[in-house]
Chains A and B, each alone.
Chain A
């Protein structure tokens, strides 16, 4: 407890020294998409929180599973109750680092990046490397990423009767506009 407090104070102090050394968004967009013959499944959240450390290139994301919104109420229900078990695992998390990071990337036009880190979904943690973009667009720091995940890798069981009707992989899209954070 005391150690945590110490780390917190240290973190606070370092933010103070380097000024704007973190970027944040509390309304990052995350979607997941899967195409089925019957209907496309699209779940979207505008409520993910992300922090980018401007000193180290470390990047963190967290999302509450219940904030994903679907066209149909039934899809939302199945997503939370049957697949993600949102009561048991309310949050999805990603903690990673931008490969080959240097501070200039935060002031340059949008360019391709690669991020490697731990993705924790449904209580299962896996190391992933995903492509993305980062840079200044219309005067603001913008980040995006698009990658695929296999539900079974995260212990999400889809009943056999519908399994072959849903794409094997789900496409995840992330979009965020960062704001400077912390004095």
Chain B
């Protein structure tokens, strides 16, 4: 009788373990539109920080959720269909690759964006490579 309970106990433990493992394995990517931004910054200020001390700025912002406001310099689509917004400067500004599932349901918002006007995006900062890379990102306004 005791053995029976022991077997059941072991089985339950194994099942819970497997459940937790599977849940971790299938954990979905974080939904950027629902994440809270850790920093709210002006595009020019952010570019300035990276230009002044790339390492310090990378440590401060890399993999963090940023809300950035600045001038939309250009709006493009990459070959794979990803929407790409450039802020402040087309060459050395802030590159924001929009989240594909967000973009799929918000094409009207993207189309309404005008180059030269102010835009606010929220996204994960990846660091600096000729420009500041932010991806995935969503348009806040």
Binding site for B on A (CB under 8 A): 26-27, 29, 46-49, 62-64, 66-67, 72-74, 76, 87, 90-91, 177
Please measure, in the bound complex, the distance between the C-alpha atom of A48 and the C-alpha atom of B25, giving whole angstroms.
Answer: 28
Q: Contact at A27–B84, with CB atoms within 8 Å?
A: yes
- The answer to whether A27 touches B129, judged by C-beta atoms less than 8 angstroms apart, is no
Tally of A-B Cβ pairs under 8 angstroms:
52
The answer to whether A90 and B29 touch across the interface, beta carbons within 8 angstroms, is no
Q: Contact check: which of B28, B58, B82, B95 meets A73 at CB < 8 Å?
A: B28
Query: CA of A176 to CA of B25 in the docked complex: distance in angstroms?
Result: 32
Contact status A46-B127, CB under 8 Å:
no
Measured between beta carbons, the chain A residues less than 8 angstroms from B29 are: 73, 76
CB-CB < 8 A to B126: which residues of A?
47, 64, 66-67
Contact B133 A67 (CB under 8 A): yes
Count of residues in B whose CB is under 8 Å from the partner chain: 24
Q: Give the distance in Å from the alpha carbon of A63 to the alpha carbon of B133 in the complex.
A: 11
CB distance from B67 to the nearest CB of A (A): 19
| Cβ contacts under 8 Å, A27 to chain B | 78, 84, 95
Q: Is the interface of B mostly helix, strand, loop or mixed?
A: loop
Neighbouring B residues of A91 by C-beta, 8 Å: 127, 129
Give the nearest-CB partner of A51 in chain B.
Answer: B130
B18 to chain A, nearest CB (A): 14
Among A63, A72, A74, A90, which residue has its beta carbon within 8 angstroms of that of B58?
Answer: A90
Say whether B7 faces chain A, with CB atoms less than 8 Å apart.
no
B11-27 CB contact bits vs A (8 Å, 1 = yes)? 00000000000001111
Q: Tell me, in angstroms, the Cα distance from A73 to B25 when the chains sit together.
A: 8
Query: At the interface, yes or no: B80 with Cβ under 8 Å from chain A?
Result: yes
Task: Output the residue of A29, A46, A47, A76 with the most chain B CB within 10 A.
Answer: A47
CA distance A76 to B136 in the complex (A): 14
The answer to whether the Cβ of B30 comes within 8 Å of any Cβ in the partner chain is yes
Q: CB distance A74 to B25 under 8 Å?
A: yes
Nearest A-chain residue to B124, judged by Cβ: A66
Closest B-chain residue to A68, C-beta based? B126
A73 and B27 form a contact (CB under 8 A)? yes
The proximity string for B residues 117-141 relative to A, scoring 1 for CB distances below 8 Å and 0 otherwise, is: 0000000001101110101000000
